[in-house]
Amino acid sequence: MKRAQQHAIWGRRGTFILAATGSAVGLGNIWKFPYITGENGGGAFVLMYLLCICLIGLPVMVAEVMLGRRGRANPIMAMEEVARESGNSRGWTLIGWSSVAAGFIILSYYSVIAGWTLEYVTTAAQGGFAGFDGDAATGTFAALQGDVSKLVRWQTAFLCMTALIIMFGVTRGLETAVRILMPLLFVLLIVLLGYAAYAGDFVAGFKFLFNFRFSDLSFEGLSLALGHAFFTLSLGMGAIMAYGSYMPHKTSIMKTVLTVGCLDTLVALTAGLVIFPIVFASPGVEPGAGPSLMFISLPIVFGSMPLGTVFGTVFFLLITVAAWSSTISLLEPAVAYLSERFRFHRVSASLLIVSCAWLLGLTTVFSLNRWQDMDLLAGMTPFDFSAFITEQVLLPVGALAMAVYVGWFMGKRPLRREMKLDSGLWFGRWFKVLRYVSPVLILAVFLLGIFDKFAG
Ligand code: PHE
């Protein structure tokens, strides 16, 4: 293919795994997974989540990587190329558009929340958690939510950090960044695990995470588990397709995806094994606290634990690194599109997209304070709406479209050629699941989620 020469390829072995794991591991693993597990009863939720990862997440991820590599371009042009090759309608390019758009919207609010972690790194490092009680921790968090200039400052900082990496290009920027950030992330996580085992109530945390109680299984939990499986694997948002497009031909897609899926799950479970033992170390703190688990409960506990200042700082640094490697994957698809289609320089493309994401992100900032009571649709603030439209609409619809396209419409020959390194047996199994199982499950959970939102 001609385009292969223009389009970058990862320079070293294993970069795709690092980059895709960097994209996958983020706030979703360290902030969201523990708190939704806490709210949904622990072990039973973990089991449903693992099932969703295996039956729906991984098969769709294989499809997404394969589409990117076959098209060898940013998600929009990759879909054009694949549809052209297989003689399909150009309408399938919409998959590319929807994923780039979803990635962009997520970038706008994700960077605001990621900004909070920067604020918490600085607070923790200055010993700001020392002697925190419930009121102090709640007050600090509420004060941050109400402080527009601080929120905007951290949001801006985070977006600049993201643009800085993407500007330098695929091999010099992205590849170098993930080669440094990912090992750092794993080291921080292991250090914290050791600390949780030493200073926290490890047995209670472990039991909470893995004790399965039948009565905790619920339909709502299943729907949450599925949505989260997509979000945590970064599916349907262009990131994985863009990274796949830089993957060399001699790599097996299935093996690589399996590795990324395992690493992502491992990090989520380890984050749970860090957070819950720390939570249980303090008798008054609840595991089911919801979104504030990380920003209110943990600071309280760190404030009273031995070496809480050091490890509190390390903990929030870990989340910053995880979120950073995710935002760079959210920026890459749009930047790649502008530079491949319109010959934008990567520096100007990065600055342009980041500025637009910054502007849109302001609606998230204001949703936390001035627009808190705004009702854009069904009681949602602009921030809720951005999260809803991406996580509950664009993401499942994009993933569904990918599964249907690859399962039913894409030519079998280009498909098999792209996956020639994977055995016929596994290819066959994957193809069947992608064709018959994944679409039905995605559709069911998507419709129930929408129904729940507007009827409930
Ligand atoms: N997977 C990331 C997380 O778990 C979020 C993300 C979604 C990143 C989509 C990139 C693309 O936090």
Q: Which residue has the higher pLDDT, 291 or 58?
A: 58
For 17-36, what is each residue's pLDDT tens digit?
Answer: 999 999 999 999 998 998 88
**363 and 383 Cβ atoms separated by less than 8 Å:** yes
Q: What pLDDT is attached to residue 2?
A: 42
Comparing 447 with 261, which gets the higher pLDDT?
261
In angstroms, how far is CA 289 from the centroid of its own chain?
21
Alpha helices in 176-297 (DSSP H): 176-199, 202-210, 219-232, 239-244, 253-280, 292
Give the bridge partners for 377, in sequence order: 380
Q: Answer whether 288's CB lies under 8 Å from 50's CB.
A: no
Q: Is 23 in the pocket of ligand 1 (CB under 6 A)?
A: yes
Average pLDDT over residues 114-128: 95
Distance from Cα 412 to the centre of ligand 1, integer Å: 30
Percent of the chain at pLDDT exceeding 70: 98
Residue type, 8: A
The CB of 28 under 6 Å from ligand 1? The reply is yes
Ligand 1 contacts CB of residue 239 (under 6 A): yes
The more confident residue out of 131 and 325 is 325
Ligand 1 centroid to residue 325 C-alpha, Å = 9
Contact 232 CB / ligand 1 (< 6 Å): yes
Quick one: pLDDT at residue 453?
Answer: 77
Q: In this structure, what DSSP letter does residue 169 have?
A: -
* 42 pLDDT more than 60: yes
**Predicted confidence band at 3 (pLDDT cuts at 50, 70, 90)?**
very low
* Dihedral of the alpha carbons of 417, 87, 237, 233, in degrees to the nearest 10: -30
Give the number of other CB atoms < 10 A from CB of residue 1: 11
Distance (Å) from CA 371 to ligand 1 centroid: 26
Rounded distance from Cα 105 to ligand 1 centre (Å): 12
81-94 pLDDT per residue, tens? 999 999 999 999 99
Highest mean pLDDT: which of 158-162, 211-215, 388-392?
158-162
User: How remote is the CA of residue 53 from the centroid of ligand 1, in Å?
Assistant: 14
Position 456 confidence tier, pLDDT thresholds 50, 70, 90? low
More confident residue, 160 or 40: 160
pLDDT at 117: 95
Percent share of the chain, pLDDT over 90: 73
Measured from the Cα of 322, ligand 1's closest atom is: 12
CA distance 449 to 392: 7
Average pLDDT over residues 206-210: 88
**Is there an atom of ligand 1 within 6 Å of 231 CB?**
yes
Say if ligand 1 is within 6 A of residue 106 CB. Answer: yes
Burial 157-186 (b: 16+ CB within 10 A, else e): ebbebbbebbbbbbeebbbebbbebbeebb
27 lines ligand 1 (CB under 6 A): yes
Q: Which among 59, 26, 80 has a CA at the least distance from the CA of 341?
A: 80
Measured distance between the N- and C-terminal CA atoms of the chain, rounded to whole angstroms: 51
**Ligand 1 nearest-atom number relative to CA 240:** 11
Tokens 């979703």 sit on residue = 28
pLDDT band (50, 70, 90) for residue 6: low
Residue type, 223: S
Nearest-atom number in ligand 1 for the CA of 235 is 9
- Higher-scoring residue by pLDDT: 2, 454: 454
Non-local CB neighbours of 139 within 8 Å, separated by 6+ positions: none
What pLDDT was estimated at residue 94?
A: 97
Per-residue pLDDT at 450: 82
What count of Cα atoms within 13 Å lies in the side-chain half-sphere of residue 21?
27
* pLDDT reported for residue 219: 77
Summarize pLDDT for 65-74 with one digit per residue, the tens.
999 999 999 9
Look at 176-190, 287-301, 313-327 and tell me which has the smallest mean pLDDT. 287-301
Q: How far is the CA of 33 from the centre of ligand 1 (A)?
A: 12
Cβ 330 under 6 angstroms from ligand 1? yes
| Mutation to probe ligand 1, out of 31, 104, 112, 232 (largest number of atoms < 8 A from CB) | 232
Give how far the C-alpha of residue 312 lies from the chain's centroid of Cα atoms, to the nearest Å. Answer: 23
Closest atom of ligand 1 relative to the 102 alpha carbon:
9
Maximum mean pLDDT: which of 36-45, 133-142, 307-316, 329-338: 329-338
How many angstroms from the chain centroid is the CA of residue 363? 21
Instruction: Report the C-alpha gap between 321 and 93 in whole angstroms.
Output: 33
Instruction: Indicate the SS3 state at residue 380.
Output: strand
Using pLDDT thresholds of 50, 70 and 90, give the confidence band for residue 226: confident
Checking if the pLDDT of 407 tops 60, the result is yes
CA of 26 to the centre of ligand 1 (A): 6
pLDDT at 452: 77
CA distances (Å), origin 34, targets 40, 75, 107, 323 = 10, 31, 22, 16
Sequence-ordered alpha helix ranges (H) in 281-409 = 292, 298-304, 308-341, 346-367, 382-387, 395-404
**Nearest-CA residue for atom 11 of ligand 1:** 234
Q: Report pLDDT for 5.
A: 43
Q: How many whole angstroms separate alpha carbon 52 and alpha carbon 396? A: 13
Closest atom of ligand 1 to 323 CA is: 12
Q: Following DSSP, what letter does each residue of 40-109 receive, concatenated?
A: TTSHHHHHHHHHHIIIIIHHHHHHHHHHHHHHTS-HHHHHHHHHHHTT--GGGHHHHHHHHHHHHHHHHH
Of 239 and 3, the one with more pLDDT: 239
186-209 average pLDDT score? 91
Calculate how far, in angstroms, residue 22's C-alpha sits from the geometric centre of ligand 1.
Answer: 9
